[in-house]
Structure 1
Amino acid sequence: MFNSWILIGGITVLVALGSSFIRPRDISWGKRLDRPGWLFFEPAIPLIWTIIFACGAISAALVWQSAPGSSKTWLLMGLYLFLEIITVAYIPATLWFRSLQVGTVLGGLGVVLGILLTLTVFPVSEAAALLLLPYILWSPVGTYTTGQMLDLNPDAK
């Protein structure tokens, strides 16, 4: 039997590295975008997401421990993975397509999937569901911010 904590944590890190698939010209485009004046916390966003991904990985490990290898647990692991992929795709997709609208759609999808995953996980493990609350609280902030940036940068639709 494998150590689920190490495997789930490793997969989380590998998927999170997917956000680094961006080109320098895309980064310069993103830096030129106007941001809302209230976005003073932008430098803390990578730390915030690191904490959220860690909470998600611990949540997934708790769910796995509740019924290792069952079909329901595998389905839940797939939902965790899908949510992380959608979340990690936000930055590269927004930059590649040079479209804040793409980011807003991915962010909104992440909010909905995060809520559905939390509600699905709650009967399995209340602690695991609680560990998803940072995602549920923060993800709408990012989505709202992207929507506000779309208003400030109409050419970046």
Structure 2
Amino acid sequence: MIPSWIIIGAVTFFIALGSFLITPRDVKWFARLSRPHWLVFEPLIPLIWTVIFVCGAASAYIVWQKHPGSLITWLVMALYVLVEIITVAYIPIMLRFRSLKAGEILGLIGLISGIVLAICILPISRMAALLLLPYLVWTPIGTYTTEELKELNPQDA
């Protein structure tokens, strides 16, 4: 039998591959947008998201280990997958539709879904909930940044 941590890691990895739906043409659109002067951490964003995804996978693993295979655990795992899909969809959808508003909406949906997930898992494991803190802290930062991009680039809102 395959260990649960391998399955959780693989699911996380394969969903994250959805970010490869970005085309060079889409990237050119985003690259030409004006950015806020305080956005000095942009080169670190891939590393930040890698840490967030690892923490999310570790959180899912802890929850799975508490009650492996139970209906509640499967429902919570589905919520983890939903949060990751929303998160990964943010950039490809925003770029594909060239709409900062679409990115902002997905960011808000991801934040709300992440909060719901954290509330659902808190009774199962405080550590699993704590591992979602990087996501819950970073998502509003990303959503706020998108809002600022809209202000600086109203033609691309």
Would you say same fold, with TM above 0.5? yes
Residues in 1 aligned to 2:102 and 2:45: alpha-carbon distance in whole angstroms: 19
Question: Share of identical aligned residues, percent?
Answer: 58
Partner secondary structure for residue 123 of structure 1 = coil
Q: Where does structure 1 differ by over 3 angstroms across 4 or more consecutive aligned residues?
A: none
- Counterpart in the other structure of 1:96: 96
What's the CA shift string for 1:105-147, capped at 9, x where partnerless?
0001111111110011000011100000000001000000001
Residues in 2 aligned to 1:138 and 1:27: alpha-carbon distance in whole angstroms: 22
In structure 2, list runs of 5 or more residues that go unmatched: none
- Counterpart in the other structure of 1:119: 119
Residues in 1 aligned to 2:90 and 2:19: alpha-carbon distance in whole angstroms: 8
- Counterpart in the other structure of 1:55: 55
Residues in 2 aligned to 1:44 and 1:22: alpha-carbon distance in whole angstroms: 19
For residue 102 of structure 1, what is the amino acid of its counterpart? A
Residues in 2 aligned to 1:8 and 1:146: alpha-carbon distance in whole angstroms: 30
Q: Is 2:131 the partner of 1:131?
A: yes
Aligned pairs for 1:1-157 (under 5 A) are 1-157=1-157
In structure 1, list runs of 5 or more residues that go unmatched: none
Measured after TM superposition, the shift of residue 2 of structure 1 is: 2.9
Q: Report how many aligned residue pairs link the two structures.
A: 157
Residues in 1 aligned to 2:66 and 2:55: alpha-carbon distance in whole angstroms: 17
What's the CA shift string for 1:73-103, capped at 9, x where partnerless?
0000000000000000000000000000000
Residues in 2 aligned to 1:19 and 1:91: alpha-carbon distance in whole angstroms: 7
Residues in 2 aligned to 1:101 and 1:122: alpha-carbon distance in whole angstroms: 31
Partner secondary structure for residue 141 of structure 1 = helix
TM-score calculated relative to the size of structure 1: 0.99
